[in-house]
Amino acid sequence: MFFVWFQFTNGQEDFPILTEIVTDNAYLFRESETLQLRKKLKAYEAEKTHQIVVLTINNLGNNTVENYALQVFNKNKLGQKNANNGLLILIAKNDRKFRIEVGYGLEPIITDAFASRIIREIMTPKFKKGQFYEGVDLATSEIIKLIDSPKYRDEFTHLIEEENTTPLWEKILIGAMLTLFLSIFLTAGVFIFHLAYTKLINLFRGLVTGKISIITFPFILIQSSIFVLFSIPFMLLPIIFAITAISTQINENNTFDFFDFIEESPFINQNSLIVLVVILFIIIPIIIVFLTRSRKRYEPLKLSFFKNDVKFMSKNFSSSGSRSSYRSSSRSSSSSSFSGGGGSSGGGGASGSW
């Protein structure tokens, strides 16, 4: 349900269609600087086919800089279709945020670590001084050198490794703290899920035995489903984090990205999510109810349109929200020059602010 909503809201946002390789909508550059930057990046694209695109905007609206950059990148299909060799530099003037968004094809070259270092060492110091053209010009030159020179990339990697050297004892301490924190998250998620799903099963048991009326049922179903949905992130996030951390340790350039997986998977779409919701919140509870009936005191199957069993409701749905739903039901019963080449990005890159 969350991902369907996320995709729907993204579809409503009006992201710019780019007609120039450098688009200065926020007027951060002089006209001569814009022309010079365009000339440089067009010449590089003509020679190497890599598209390095620059966009400045006034504000991000209700978006994060990461989502805005990703949507602009994919809407304009930056980079060549087969090579996915596009790169976008987005600068949001009023929000004082910027991002280097990297296409799939360039991610093994311009890694997140490389993009972060360019942002930290080059762009942020220049932007703090108001030298936006200088920051972008130096950053694009650095990016070009990284793409074109394997030797320079090796030197760059060595510098980053030296910066990121962490003592073994510190890694062990951080690992232990993260394990403890994630274990608490996972335990809380499993506990909440168990309580919420038990209520959901009892709800269906009450429906098929006439203890909960058909009118009351939808209200409690919505309430119980919300609690189940609330518990799922607590269980999933520690697992996703652990998989990502292990994947990073094995191969730093081939990490597992859950949101990339969701976006790329042919099996995860609006229809499959609807089927999953139906299975999780309707089919499985009904199956459990009928499988466990033999273990309970025999109760005949029947339906009640208006009347609720007060004792059953009090025992299984004693929260204030459930009582209010019950009372409510009881009362109701009684009453042009540039275009992308077809490339795409999965969210690789890095963000900064000044």
Please tell me the least confidently modeled range out of 139-153, 167-181, 211-225: 167-181
Take residue 167 and report the two structure tokens written for it: 């003592």
Dihedral sign (CA 71, 77, 81, 84): negative
How high is the pLDDT of residue 151?
80
CA distance 92 to 101: 14
Are 297 and 202 contacting, i.e. CB atoms less than 8 angstroms apart? no
Give the amino acid at 172.
Answer: I
- Nearest CA-CA partner of 45 in 23, 24, 21: 21
How high is the pLDDT of residue 258?
55
DSSP 8-state assignment for residue 214:
T
What's the whole-number mean pLDDT along residues 251-277?
63
How high is the pLDDT of residue 129?
93
Burial (0-12, 13-18, 19+ Cβ within 10 Å), 227: middle
C-alpha pair distances (Å), 62 with each of 54, 116, 257, 263, 312: 21, 24, 24, 21, 45
CA distance 69 to 13: 13
Order of all β-strands in the sheet with 22-24: 22-24, 51-57, 86-92, 97-102, 348-353
Q: In the chain, what are the helix, strand and coil shares in percent, each to the nearest 5?
A: 65, 10, 25
Phi, psi of 149 (to 5 degrees): -120, 105
Please tell me the least confidently modeled range out of 68-82, 114-128, 177-191, 297-311: 297-311
Q: Is the pLDDT of residue 200 over 90?
A: no
Are 115 and 121 contacting, i.e. CB atoms less than 8 angstroms apart? no
CA 116 to chain centre: 19
Domains of the chain: 2-165+342-353 (3.10.310.50), 169-318 (no CATH)
What's the whole-number mean pLDDT along residues 172-185?
81
34 pLDDT band (50/70/90 cuts)?
very high
Mean of per-residue pLDDT scores for the chain:
79
- 153 vs 329, higher pLDDT: 153
CA distance 132 to 352: 13
Burial (0-12, 13-18, 19+ Cβ within 10 Å), 222: exposed
Are 86 and 345 contacting, i.e. CB atoms less than 8 angstroms apart? yes
